[in-house]
A and B are shown apart, each in its own frame.
Chain A
Amino acid sequence: MDGFLNAIVLLANFALVPGAAYGSQLALGALGVTLIFAVLRFSNFAHGETMSFGAMITIFATWALQSWGVSIAPLPTGLLALPIGIIVTVAVVLASDKFVYAYYREKRSDQVIFLIASIGVMFVMAGLIRFIIGPDDQIFADGARFVFSVRDFRAVTGLEEGLALKTTQLVTLVTAIVCVVALFLFLGKTRTGKSMRAYADNEDLATLSGIDAGRVVRIAWILSATLAVIAGVLYGLDKSYKPFVFQELLLPIFAAAIVGGLGSPVGAIVGGYIIAFAEVLVTYAYKRFLGHLVPPDWMPDGLAQLMGTEYKFAVAFVILVLTLLIRPTGLFNKRAA
């Protein structure tokens, strides 16, 4: 029995807890992508940089708060700075819509044109970020590092294996749940949310029935940017903020959105967790896990690892390709993408 518990704790410590936190971050990112796709009907490649930009503003606000001695310990100060990051980023994103995308919307340009315009926005934002904060790592997590550490866990349970829960992981999970619940309440219960869904389902019909298209687009951008900033800040708090990382993150985020079905909020969340757990579980080495479960002479010689960790991003890619081959519309999409 102890062996079984040890195995579960081990897997939780190295795969399940980090996977859940990573999955939440991906899910929040993918939600932003999927909202823009639902309303504006294009894949927003600038989303990763929006996350990065929001995290950067939040970092500046965090530094300011820290220098004034404001703290909400044991929680990270970054959470307090989050609203400032969201407000500034929303303003920037709305400006990018006004100066870039609005023009193409007026011309009723093709999806591909929007997509390419968003790549342009991505490069401009990436340059701006490197210009303002530089390419270096920024560690801005403060407050208590652990809810409970491996040592605490071992002392309490007496198990051989330990489990750590970082404050940032707990914050990520709780924030993700709050955001998702709030988003679904908004989309399902409020008049604005319903009008957004109507617009997403059929643009012309919605406009004819008196829904203000400009307003729906603005709200989609505001929601998407807000989710992006939250995802970016949580990722930065949990790991470390590094401007280059967000371009890499674009792949698992898009994979998550596409696996779930572009335009489907539920799909984005499920997709986020599928991608995250697939990346973690496929590259996990099960040697010690098996060691707790099977008798010593059944133990495999190697690490019992399906794929080296350097191929982590390849896992997201393979799932993306498989989805596009087998079910191109994604798991939860009603409409063909």
Chain B
Amino acid sequence: MKTTLMALVSAAALVSAAPALAEDAKLGILLGFTGPLESLSPAMALGAELAVAEVNESGQFMDGGTVTAVRGDDTCIDAGAATTAAERLVTSDGVNGIMGAMCSGVTGAVLQNVAIPNGVVMISPSATSPALTAVEDDGLFFRTAPSDARQGVIIAEILAEKGVGSAALTFTNNDYGKGLADSIAAAAGEAGIDITINAPHEDGKGDYSAEVAALAAAGGEILIVAGYLDQGGRGIIQASLDSGAFDTFFLPDGMVGEALVEAIGSDLDGSYGVLPGSDSEGSQIFAQLAEEAGNETGVYAPEAYDAAALMLLAMAKSGSTDPAVYKDVIMDIANAPGEPILPGELGKALEIIAGGGEVDYVGASDVELINGGESGGSFREIAIEDGAIETVQYR
């Protein structure tokens, strides 16, 4: 009975949505404005809001509707707080979709506790845990960030090219860290690199000398720190340098940021890392757009822009702000066929959609959704030289 009713309701929704009426939409921006990745969040939120502003300026959204963005704080690590924040966005603010959440653990929690029960679409710009690929999501969950399974392979490739024979590995003790560390260890094993130790560290401690002592005992030419730059990851690096345990570090995506270079200083020179990013036309246009808007850019800001843009284009395409309706067209928007859409062309895309045409959203991060809704991903290899993060190449 209930399912028939549901089917009827959604059918009614479809019918009523068919003639595209001017409709306003609300977009929830759920990121870790406090917590271990707080230094990355503002740039990401601004990226998403840039897409919203662009859509509003075009005046083409749902026949002249406007989009408003509402921010929520997922704290990155506290599932309870993230769930509460998401619950507030959905029930009290009445958002039509959530751009978020930030970190893998809270993303899983928000998906299970809020998004699926309320039937709200989530597009995360930065949750990279491999576990989220297989999660049961009712077609509601997407991400414009690649899975860490892919990052692990890239990291192993870089290490192999640098001729690293053995490496110690430490990860922040949560879904993100564990997932990334396991994929690095697996890929490194295949590449013939010896991972001497794969040990967790807790965030938020004052002292990491004991953790570093264990890592040093295992040894290795380099230390891979799969952690957070504002948190334990930085503590581990500082303690390693103090005790002379390691002097070169590999920095995966959560560790690359100006804040780390500033905090550690010249001792970090010679370390290298990787983060999602591409040198595509889209990413350059996005950097320019962000600069014009006076925004700072950072890791995952392009992905945040893309996540917001995808959601809004999908609403326009399906002619509905109802997640149950527009969730099905997100993959069509993101992938070929259709007119390629770069950042700054959202107005054009809306026009094409209004005219009944097809679009292939490329965006700032070369969006191509695979495996049921996650980005295939391209990566930027970086090296730290003279206290600055330099791009080596794109992979």
The chain A residues found within 8 Å of chain B, CB to CB, are 13-15, 18, 22, 135, 137, 139, 145-146, 149-151, 162, 164, 166, 235, 238-240, 242, 244-245, 248-249, 279-280, 283-289, 303-305, 308-310, 312
Contact = CB atoms under 8 A, between A and B. Distances in A.
A309 B213 CA distance: 9
B218 interface: yes
A288 B219 contact: yes
B53 interface: no
B210 A162 contact: no
B206 A14 contact: no
Interface string B379-391: 0000000000000
Among B202, B206, B212, B243: residue with most chain A CB under 10 A: B206
Contact of B217 (A239, A303, A312): A303
Contact of A150 (B204, B206, B244): B244
B211 interface: yes
B205 interface: yes
B214 A22 contact: no
The 7 closest A-B pairs by CB, nearest first: A150-B244, A285-B217, A14-B213, A245-B206, A239-B206, A285-B214, A18-B209
30 contacts: A18-B209, A146-B242, A164-B242, A238-B207, A239-B207, A240-B206, A242-B204, A242-B206, A244-B204, A245-B205, A245-B206, A279-B210, A280-B210, A280-B213, A283-B210, A284-B210, A284-B213, A285-B213, A285-B214, A285-B217, A285-B218, A288-B218, A303-B197, A305-B214, A308-B200, A309-B199, A309-B201, A309-B210, A310-B202, A312-B210
B217 A288 contact: yes
B206 A310 contact: no
Among B34, B201, B210: residue with most chain A CB under 10 A: B210
B214 A303 contact: yes
Contacts of A309: 199, 201, 210-211, 213-214
Interface in B174-223: 197, 199-202, 204-207, 209-214, 216-219
B209 A287 contact: no
Given A285-B213, A285-B217, 20 more contacts: A13-B243, A14-B217, A14-B243, A145-B242, A150-B244, A166-B242, A235-B206, A249-B206, A279-B210, A284-B213, A284-B214, A285-B218, A287-B218, A288-B218, A303-B197, A303-B214, A303-B218, A304-B217, A305-B214, A308-B200
B235 A149 contact: no
Interface string B231-260: 000010000001111000000000000000
Contacts of A284: 210, 213-214, 217
A304 B217 CA distance: 9
B8 interface: no
Interface of B: 34, 173, 197, 199-202, 204-207, 209-214, 216-219, 230, 235, 242-245, 263
A275 to B, nearest CB: 13
B244 A149 contact: yes
A15 B206 CA distance: 16
A249 to B, nearest CB: 8
B235 A310 contact: no
B253 to A, nearest CB: 21
B388 to A, nearest CB: 21
Nearest to B38: A136
Given A285-B218, A303-B218, A162 B213 contact: no
Contact of B243 (A164, A239, A280, A304): A164
A139 B205 CA distance: 14
Contacts of A150: 243-244
Contacts of B34: 135
Contacts of A288: 216-219
Contacts of B243: 13-14, 18, 150, 164
Contacts of A244: 204
A294 B52 CA distance: 66
B217 A289 contact: yes
Contact of A15 (B197, B204, B213): B213
A107 B315 CA distance: 68
A151 B244 contact: yes
A15 B216 CA distance: 12
